[in-house]
Amino acid sequence: MSPLITPAELAELGGTVTLLDVRGGISGPPGIDRYREGHLPGAIFCDLDADLAAPPGAAGRHPLPSAEHFQAAMRRLGVSRGRTVVVYDDAGSTIAARAWWTLRYYGHHEVKVLDGGLPAWSALGLPVVKDEPAVTPGDFTAAPGGMPTLDAGQAAALATAGILLDARAGERYRGETEPVDPVAGHVPGAVSAPTTENVGQDGRFHTAAGLRERFTALGVADGVATGAYCGSGVTAAHEVLALELAGFPAALYVGSWSNWVADPSRPVATGSPRG
């Protein structure tokens, strides 16, 4: 089953799913402000920093939350194991993909991303509301290990023995600029694969065939171990989702570049290709 759902398909489901609004969290106005200005009927706000990540530190800017913290957050938001969860944002599913990945990692198997997010929903003339729904606490139990992960050592090894995709913008990969982290560059051996190329101008994912062609051109192939990283493990989750759509399983380096450069002994490459 596809991890994506269209606005029309979601509209047909009505209130039979748990709907999480995961806008904001990286740049722009706070997500909760956007949510209060208008959201899908029945949607509950889920905060990237508070609900989908642990506090920043040596592990990265958006490290994994503990199972206990994530379970409590999801239950507070009404998430239950036996009920489908649909997540959306307004940024080409960048943050929604992190919600999808984290729920999958912690054992929820019925999670879908609204393809195109709020803009695609609104483009069909579907309703947007301001009222915040009452939430019945969920019974979700977080069990880690549902998705493959990489630590720094495994990412370094994969860049040599398999394919490690860098989901950041090309100029950050090449080390020409670094607006967030203290060191510019990339993991030696990593391949530049900006997340922005996974979607079209409308914010919807390219077709599975188109994504497969894209990743194949970057060296991804059946049977070749593949992983992805970005600045802090958010947009790289989008890469993992796009890879899944293309039929390629992939691991996520959750700590990503912000964790890599926390240790000054780790090597840094610049330029392209593959450092």
Give catalytic residue positions: 230
**Between the CA atoms of 195, 197, 199 and 203, what dihedral angle is there, to the nearest 10 degrees?**
80
* Range 175-210 burial, b when 16+ CB lie within 10 A, else e: beebeebeebbbbbbbbbbbbeebbeeebbbbeeee
* Range 141-164 burial, b when 16+ CB lie within 10 A, else e: ebeeeebebbebebbbebbeebbb
Stated as kind and residue range, the H or E segment containing 111 is strand 111-114
Rounded CA gap, 19 and 45, in Å?
Answer: 9
Distance in angstroms between the alpha carbons of the first and the last residue of the chain: 37
144 close to 106: Cβ distance less than 8 angstroms: yes
**Between the CA atoms of 223, 224, 227 and 228, what dihedral angle is there, to the nearest 10 degrees?**
-110
